[in-house]
Each structure stands twice: as structure tokens, then as C-alpha cells.
Structure 1
Amino acid sequence: MPDSGKVDGRFFDRHIYPHLGASRAEVRVGPRHGVDFGVVDVDGRSLVVATDPISIVPDLGFERAARFAFDVVCADVAVSGLPPAYLSVNFTLPPEMTDAEFAAVWETIDEEARDLGASVVAGHTARYAGCSYPWVGGATVMAVGDPEEMVSPDGARPGDDLLFTTGPGVEAVGLLTTLFGDEMDLPASTLDDARERFGEARGVRDALTAAAAGPVTAMHDVTEGGLAAALCEFAGSAGVRIDVEREAVPMRPGVEPVCTYHDLDPWRATSSGSLLVAVDPAGTEAVLDALADRGTTAAVVGRVDEGEGAFVDGSRLDHPRVDRSWDVYADYAGGTD
């Protein structure tokens, strides 16, 4: 297990996968490393379920932090193509969080949930000694729909086009420069570009838009380990080979110079809000057009083929296992250079 961040596939397969409680026939998709959600069949419908931590960064402002947190916890369900419908939210709050600050977070989550058509159905809220920002709890998100309308996490097929939305590193770069840009010896124009990326780190509605425009065969959101990790996980979950052209991958303004400044690889830095989307070629233009109508950058970056593994310009891509952007964040937050 790494010192920080998600466990890797080896840890998961050794310690978690063999111990998943009782086996039940209605569990169609259970926990698997690199797979965003589980699926339970209930009376001919699919119940899609995912759980994620809630991260609140006070320096973003509590409303802005809550909008970002809400999108992150809903993204793993949204890539099923079914809209999030139910939330169970657990808050383990630090003692220093005031009632007014919590109210700002909760009222923002309520606003976002209403806009998405989702209801909070259960939860737990308390302050506990020893709890601290940014990790203040967790949430389980659920969607219910027709199994035929669900985008399977392992549905990518040889011959599919592979689309990538937004760009690599947008979350890491946007968050770091929004919080710590004044401490970076970079041109003001670069910092302005980079700070704008944080507003792009929201992929829930992009996922639902792509699925509706389809036919989409699989989606995966790009989180810890960045695009490199997501490509490896995407290929592994479907048992296919993915071939990507590096030059085809969109790079948003401000990302490369900020990553270079911090000795980060943009492809290996967390990028919530970015999506990998496998599409039947007959639907590729429709998906691209629908995303463009939302103002979302998207491009065909490769193709799904027979075989196994992820390849960039013909060379096999290894899973990064560790996301160094968290170390950079920790250095700034701890007051070190």
C-alpha cells in the first residue's frame, strides 16, 4: 500500500478482492481495481453504486469546495450513463468547522443535487476530535435504470474509437495554482491560464451528455495517477488493447508549464473532470458535437484493439501506481518549498 493515495492493483487483489462478504447472484459487477462502480440487478433494473471520500478545502471557499466535492463523488456513477439519483452522505467533521461553514457546504450540495435531480436518502453528521481537512467524510451515490441503457465499465470493444475530454492534469494544476499560485515563480499569464483549469474539473454532466449522444460502450473518469493510470485501468477492465497517439491528446493552457515547474508529468497527475470514452465509430461525431455544445474540449485520441494493455505511440504504458501531485500539494500545505 502506498503511503498516500489509492491502493494499487496488487494490494487490492491480495487483501481486498478475496474478502468481499457473501456471494449473491444479483451482484452483476462487484469491486474490481480500476472499475468505477458496482451493479446490482433488482427486478429487471440496474442499481449502480459507488462510494468516494468527501474532500473539502477551506481555502477554495466552502461553496466552491462543496461543488467540486459533489462532482467528484458523483462522477463514478455518472460514467455508467445513468444519472445519479440517490446519495447517502457521511460527514466526520473537524472540530474547528463552524456551523456556518458546514451550512455553506450542505446548502451547496443540496443545490447541486436538486439541479441533477438527485435526493439525499441517508447520512451521518458529527464532529470528531482527530478529524481534519480536507478529508471530512464520504458519500455513496446510486443510480437506477434500464440495464440496456447502462454503460458497462468493461464494455470497450475492439474497433471502438477512444475519446478523451478536457485534458491531462487539469485538476492538479487548477487546484495547485488556485491555492498556492502566489508562491510560484511563474508568469502571471501562465498562472491565470492554469487557475481557469479548476473550473473544468467537473465531468458528471459531460459523462451523461456523452452517453446520451452515443452509442458509448465504456467510460472511465481520470483521477489519481492521471491519464496514464486511467488508460491502464480502462484496458485492463475490458481485457483489450488501447492504442493512443500522444499528439492527439488535448493539452489545456497552463498545464504543461505548471507541471514542468513542479517536475510533474501531466499524464500522471490527477485530473478529475476528464473522461476516457469508448464509442462505436458510428457515434463518434455525435458525441464530439454534443460535448462541443457544452463547451467541453474533446478529441479522438486512439482506438480499442484486440490484445491487452495500454500503448502510446506503440510503446507499452505502465501504471504509475503513485500520483506525485499529492506530494506537491502536501509540500505547499506544510509550508515547505
Structure 2
Amino acid sequence: MKTGRITDTILDRSVFKNIRKSKDKKNTYFGIGRDAAVINKKFNYVVSANATLGDYGIKNQIFFEIKRAIYSAYTNVYAECGIPKYLSMNIYLPVKTLENELKSIVTYIDEVANDLNLCITGGNTRVSANVNNILIDFNVIGDFVYDEILSYKDIIEEDMDIVLTGKIALSGTYLIVKEKYDELRKRYSKSYLDEVLEVENVLDVSIEMKEAFDRNVRIFHDVSKGGIYAALSRISKALNKGVICDLDKIPMMQQSVEVTEFFSLNPYKLLSDGAMLMVTKDGNDLCRAINEKNREAIVIGKIKNDNEKVFIKNGEKHYIEPPKYDEILNVFEV
């Protein structure tokens, strides 16, 4: 396709016609001649989050990376106590991109959005000589679930529980296995590796978040880039408190242990989409409720009044050093 804004014909044929429109007549959404969406709100606050496809340059996994990016923005809205409702996107395409590629991408985005009950409100689609790979920026907006916004200092107390939902290192392990499958098959069986490929469907945190909101939990952080070490470091900084965590309690697939060992990676610093940190007074009650929904949750640590970020491994105390980058960058050339 030619550089610049794509033509209205292509826009209508390969973008708009592949996105389901909301049946809500009170709002206006995308369309030729429409410059923005208008949403009739009954809540006082909205939550907005962004995520970008293309930051790791993993060219062969574009559809999983699209899903991961949408889920990332979706999860970040939940992490700020929002219920995700709307999705918009900016798509930047290399000149070499074919219209059929655009059509398949938009169709897939629509499928993911539909699975998450997200209404696509619009976006921008351009062909640019300045990009070598497809780049998509997603924005998710949601409704704030509580009546008022409280600062962390009004909520946080020493010895509050740190709950982890899901397993760490899953999405990173998935991407590595998909890209390095033949190399890994020299050591591991097909059935063993194929178990990892099923984790594509465990990125959704909505069930866990509903149980947390029902218990008035307000402090969350998604475990994504940089893994659990980065997430614990960030939540400690946001709360201006210390954390102590038992690494032996943190769940991960055995495949994550072995794949990271195979490539000399630290699984605690590896991409972990689908996992979430929650801080609450009664972590056991929250975990019990989530477990009853057949989802994973476990208390892994406590909030402390000092600023130390500590983990316990095999009974020994260590300090958490926030990773400078995600371990997956040691596998893929960007």
C-alpha cells in the first residue's frame, strides 16, 4: 500500500467492515467522517490505559503479540480499579504491507475485543515509510468501580498481604517455545512443549478482579514486563513501602523453569502477562474466593514499613534488584 493515510475505500473495506459495531445508540463510534467517539457516561470517573504491539520485535508471533498488547491495556485498566469497556487503536504499517494483511489483522483484533466485551470506538490507520514492522498502539478505557478515588497512603498498612494470581513467566515461556520450538525439541518431547502453547488462553484476569472488587481491594499491579521482580519493585515504589516475599511460594510451570534454564534466563525477570499482584488485609479470604472459581491465587508476601525489597529463597534472605529489561530480550534480537 502507498505511504500515508489509507484511502477511504480500503478503510471501509478492510478496517470498518471487519469490526462489530455496538448496538448502544446513545453513543457514536468509528466511521468515515467521524473524528472521535462520543460516549454517554453515568460514572464520574473513567480509567484509561495504553499498550503497544511491536516493542519486542518478535515478527513471527504477530497475532499473539496483538492479543498480548490488548490484554495488557485491558489488565492495566483493571489494575487501576476500572472495568474495561472501550478499545481504540492506531495502526502503522510498512509500505510493503498488503491490504489482505491489514484485513486479517483487523479481523483478529475484532475477535479479541469481542471475547473481552470491548467495544471498538475507532482509531487511525496509516502506511509509513518510517516503520519497518507493523506497529499498533491500543488504548482501553473503562469505568471506575468505586465511588471515590483514594490515595495509597490512605489505604496501605504494614503487614497487609501480597497476593499473586496466576503463574509467572507464562507469556514469556509461550513466546520462547513458539519461536525456538525446533531447538527445544532436541531436548524436550513434543507433548511437553505443547502444554505451554495452551497458556495463550490464560491472559484474562476478569474473574480474579471481580472477586477482588467484591472485597473492596484497591491496590493492584500487573506482572508483565520484567517479571515478578519488576512488579514487586514497582508496587513497592508506588506504595512507598517495603515488601517481603517468599519466592518458594511463587507458582510457575515446570516448562518455564526448564526453558529459562535452557537459555540461561532468570524466570523471575521474564514476561508474565496474565499474573496480577493484589494487596489486601485478608489475603487468605481473597485467595479462597478466587480458588473457588478454579483460578490460581496465593499469598506470597507482606507489606513492610521500611523501604526494603526482600525475597526469601530456600530460607535465605536476598534483596530484589529491579531488572533493567525483560529477560526475553536475551533470546530475541530486536
Partner residue, 2:144: 145
Looking at structure 2, the residues matched to 237 and 275 of structure 1 have their Cα atoms a distance apart, in angstroms, of 15
Looking at structure 1, the residues matched to 211 and 149 of structure 2 have their Cα atoms a distance apart, in angstroms, of 12
| Larger Rg, first or second structure (1 or 2) | 2
Counterpart secondary structure, 2:295: coil
> Is contact 1:163–1:302 with CA below 8 Å preserved after alignment?
yes
> Is contact 1:232–1:309 with CA below 8 Å preserved after alignment?
no
Distance 1:58 1:319, change over 3 A: closer
Counterpart secondary structure, 1:112: helix
Partner residue, 1:74: 74
- Counterpart residue type for residue 215 of structure 2: G
- Counterpart residue type for residue 267 of structure 2: P
The number of aligned residues is 285
Partner residue, 1:228: 229
Counterpart secondary structure, 1:302: strand
Looking at structure 2, the residues matched to 210 and 54 of structure 1 have their Cα atoms a distance apart, in angstroms, of 30
Partner residue, 1:92: 92
Looking at structure 2, the residues matched to 151 and 79 of structure 1 have their Cα atoms a distance apart, in angstroms, of 14
Distance 1:67 1:325, change over 3 A: closer
Partner residue, 1:136: 135
> Is contact 1:228–1:319 with CA below 8 Å preserved after alignment?
yes
Partner residue, 1:245: 246
Partner residue, 1:320: 323
Partner residue, 1:298: 297
Partner residue, 2:3: none
Bigger CA drift: 140-149 or 231-240? Answer: 140-149
Partner residue, 2:104: 104
Alignment of 1:199-210 (within 5 A): 199-200=201-202, 202-206=203-207, 208-210=209-211
Distance 1:249 1:186, change over 3 A: same
Bigger CA drift: 307-316 or 269-278? Answer: 307-316
Partner residue, 1:20: none
- TM-score using structure 2 length: 0.75
Cα offset for 1:49?
A: 1.7
Partner residue, 1:31: none
> Is contact 2:51–2:69 with CA below 8 Å preserved after alignment?
no
Alignment of 1:1-337 (within 5 A): 45-55=44-54, 59-60=60-61, 62=63, 64-133=64-133, 136-148=135-147, 156-184=156-184, 185-188=186-189, 189-200=191-202, 202-206=203-207, 208-281=209-282, 284-313=283-312, 314-330=317-333
Bigger CA drift: 269-278 or 155-164? Answer: 155-164
- Counterpart residue type for residue 162 of structure 1: I
Counterpart secondary structure, 2:87: strand
- TM-score using structure 1 length: 0.75
Root-mean-square deviation (CA, aligned residues, Å) is 2.8
Cα offset for 1:319?
A: 0.8
Counterpart secondary structure, 2:332: helix
Cα offset for 1:146?
A: 4.7
Distance 1:207 1:256, change over 3 A: same
Distance 1:165 1:180, change over 3 A: same
Unaligned runs of 5+ in 2: 1-40
Counterpart secondary structure, 1:264: coil
Looking at structure 1, the residues matched to 232 and 170 of structure 2 have their Cα atoms a distance apart, in angstroms, of 16
Unaligned runs of 5+ in 1: 1-41, 332-337
> Is contact 1:74–1:84 with CA below 8 Å preserved after alignment?
yes
> Is contact 1:153–1:220 with CA below 8 Å preserved after alignment?
no
Looking at structure 1, the residues matched to 128 and 74 of structure 2 have their Cα atoms a distance apart, in angstroms, of 25
Cα offset for 1:174?
A: 0.9
Cα offset for 1:126?
A: 1.4
Cα offset for 1:75?
A: 1.6
> Is contact 1:51–1:140 with CA below 8 Å preserved after alignment?
yes
> Is contact 1:221–1:275 with CA below 8 Å preserved after alignment?
yes
- Regions of 4+ moved over 6 Å: 149-154
- Counterpart residue type for residue 93 of structure 2: L
